[in-house]
Structure 1
Amino acid sequence: MTPSEFKDRLIFGPSPRDSSQYFHSLSQKHSPSSSAAAADTFPDSSPLDPLLPPQQHHGHPLHRSKTAPAMAIIDDLHHPMHQQTELEPSSRSVVRQAFALLVVYLSLGVLIYWLNRDHYVVNQTHPVVDGLYFCIVTMCTIGYGDITPNSVVTKLFSIMFVLVGFGFIDILLSGMVSYVLDLQESYMLDSAKRREEPAKRRSYIIDVKKGRMRIRLKVALALGVVVSCIALGVGIMHFIEKIDWLDSFYLSVMSVTTVGYGDRAFKTLPGRLFAAVWLLVSTLAVARAFLYLAEARVDKRNRERAKRVLCETMSVSQFFAADIDNNGCVSKEEYVIYKLKEMEKITDKDITPISKQFDKLDRCSNGKITLVDLLDSSSGD
């Protein structure tokens, strides 16, 4: 093995056939016995002794050198695969968990309603259906007034149920929206990648499109769900509740917007079964639609600000503002930080904790983090 090959192996990692020999060589300290073992491992590496790691005083087999070992090897040695932290739960698992908790919570609410059904003012259809309908109307903060509690126990139950239950709906629907957006985004980005030219500009364009696309998809999806829910509610109210078209549209809009005047409500058994599911989806879809519209407006404002900042030339006052270390020149890092501040992407409050973390890793206080600093930090932890 030539010195050039050994250097490439240190930087880029070993090939699959000699990875085990390389791990063994890196894990030994530099001593007369380890040097002999290294000579056995690499028979033709006698002229490479100066490149091998020297004796270390901190108990680590790796030392500071200009040819740091490949990061893949270091990660494998110090962070085995079975010790890696688990990824955050996906949107699908969040939906499953939230749905399971919601079912349990609604079942508990229906049970409490059924046990105290004589303490409600209600036009009864079926105790279980009425209980489910009452729980959904309460969780969605509609309050038609067709079912009301009239005892201390039922009033306290209604208070606790709406305060806790509204969070379940938000988690469930936000997870569902994120899951659908991820699927749509993945499909559209794959199509965009196939159409774009293979160049660095393609990566930038895809990143920009990804951000805009996700916001637009969120707005379109939320508005589409709202319109669909209103239309579905109008049809069910007209054909099931026997309400005329105008009043059906009126009740549908008042329901999804959680106004709930109480002059109209669901009175039949099928209507209340439908409302139990319909209200659960439609009311939060309206809230999400307004939230995403506000997010789209903020994103547009941020893009306009970024475009303005990138197009303007640097003045003398801006030069002094960008010169963080006051050395009379602006480095690339200082320029990037200054522009990010101008775009309001980051603030000094964001930079300070990152700088402190860097100083903690920089054991030699030379303004650079080396591999030995990283290994010393991990061993100290």
Structure 2
Amino acid sequence: MAEALLGGHDYIVLPLTGNQRVDPRLQRFRRSKSVPEMSGINDGHLLPPSEFLLHTHLPSFKRVAIFFIFCLAIGTVCFYFLRDQIKGEKINGILDSVYFCIVTITTVGYGDLVPNSVSTKLLACAFSFLGVALVGVIVSKAADYLVEKQQKMLIQALDMCQKLGSTEISKGIETESVRIKHLIDNVQYKCFITASLLVVLVIIGTVFLAAVEKLDIVDAFYCVCSTLTTLGYGDKSFSTKAGRIFAIFWILISTLCLVKLLCYVVEIHTERRHKAFEWYLIKRSTNFDIES
């Protein structure tokens, strides 16, 4: 049984196993001064409780959304005052400014409205880099969420292998398998709903472009796909007042929906890898119990 830390001394005592007797002078090692003192650790607990590490939060994009709205407002005001220095097919000053700011930040860049002066070109460069930075923040938050989820899964798997006895292994396998299957089914359902919403958005965008912008069905679908993937060749775009009002909301919703769908696909892959990893740990624990 492990002995307690020696009070008042900078020594760590190694645990004794069985009836083994070791000279206490050989058991003591000085603690490195560069390592922080672990004064809050109780006997038998070398690590904090797993509940402390299992605090995984869903990615919050509230600050990103607030920052995006702020940048959109600033960009709209700037492009409105510089609207005479933007060339292309214009409809309304405020509408064109919001529309141009959206297609710049989302890096769609149709090309129907383009900057035509030094100031507008520099401003467009700033907002295009800002859009890339926003995408990077969103991807970073999603990646942090997936990493935290992986860490949570690993800790849960290790805790289960430590807590289960040899008589409870089979029951633990069945319970954990049902739980993970439920999680995978839940994420798959969300993925299906998001994919269905994305298909609906594609159909709505295609029909709208064909009906309002008077594009051919193939050209309308081509414009929708180039928008969703932020390709934005510019040969097909929204050129009417109603079309640009629609584009302001449709571009944001559809691109965010696509990003959400990709996150769910990655999460499904993560859950399946976790299921395989837990099975490996449980089987290994079972084999260890049989051998011992």
Structure 2-normalised TM-score? 0.59
Q: 1:232-381 maps to which residues of 2 (within 5 A)?
A: 232-312=204-284, 314=287
Cross-structure match for 2:197? 225
Contact map agreement 1:105 1:165 (CA 8 A) in 2: no
Task: Provide runs of 4+ in structure 1 moved above 6 Å.
Answer: 87-91, 199-203
Query: Residue 95 of structure 2: which of 116, 126, 129 is its match?
Result: 129
- Between the aligned partners of 2:179 and 2:269, the Cα distance in structure 1 is 19
- The answer to which of 223-232 and 293-302 deviates more is 293-302
Cross-structure match for 1:110? 76
Q: Please state how far the C-alpha of 1:203 moved relative to its aligned partner.
A: 7.6
- Between the aligned partners of 1:150 and 1:100, the Cα distance in structure 2 is 30
Name the amino acid aligned to 2:100: F
Q: Please state how far the C-alpha of 1:305 moved relative to its aligned partner.
A: 3.3
Contact map agreement 2:85 2:116 (CA 8 A) in 1: yes
Cross-structure match for 1:158? 124
Cross-structure match for 2:107? 141
- CA deviation profile, 1:122-169 (whole Å, cap 9, x unmatched): 111111111111111112111111111122221221222233345667
Q: 1:90 to 1:226 in 2, by over 3 A?
A: closer
1:120 aligns with 2:86: yes
Mark the runs of 5 or more structure 1 residues left unpaired by the alignment: 1-63, 65-86, 179-198, 320-329, 331-381
- Between the aligned partners of 2:258 and 2:57, the Cα distance in structure 1 is 26
Contact map agreement 2:173 2:279 (CA 8 A) in 1: no
SS in 1 for 2:110: coil
Cross-structure match for 1:337? none
- Between the aligned partners of 1:164 and 1:154, the Cα distance in structure 2 is 15
Name the amino acid aligned to 1:141: T
- Between the aligned partners of 1:233 and 1:95, the Cα distance in structure 2 is 26
Name the amino acid aligned to 1:246: V
Structure 1-normalised TM-score? 0.47
- The answer to which of 97-106 and 258-267 deviates more is 97-106
Mark the runs of 5 or more structure 2 residues left unpaired by the alignment: 1-41, 43-54, 146-170
Cross-structure match for 1:211? 183
- Between the aligned partners of 2:242 and 2:192, the Cα distance in structure 1 is 31
Q: Please state how far the C-alpha of 1:270 moved relative to its aligned partner.
A: 0.5
Cross-structure match for 1:364? none
Name the amino acid aligned to 1:227: V
Q: CA RMSD in A?
A: 3.6
SS in 2 for 1:148: strand
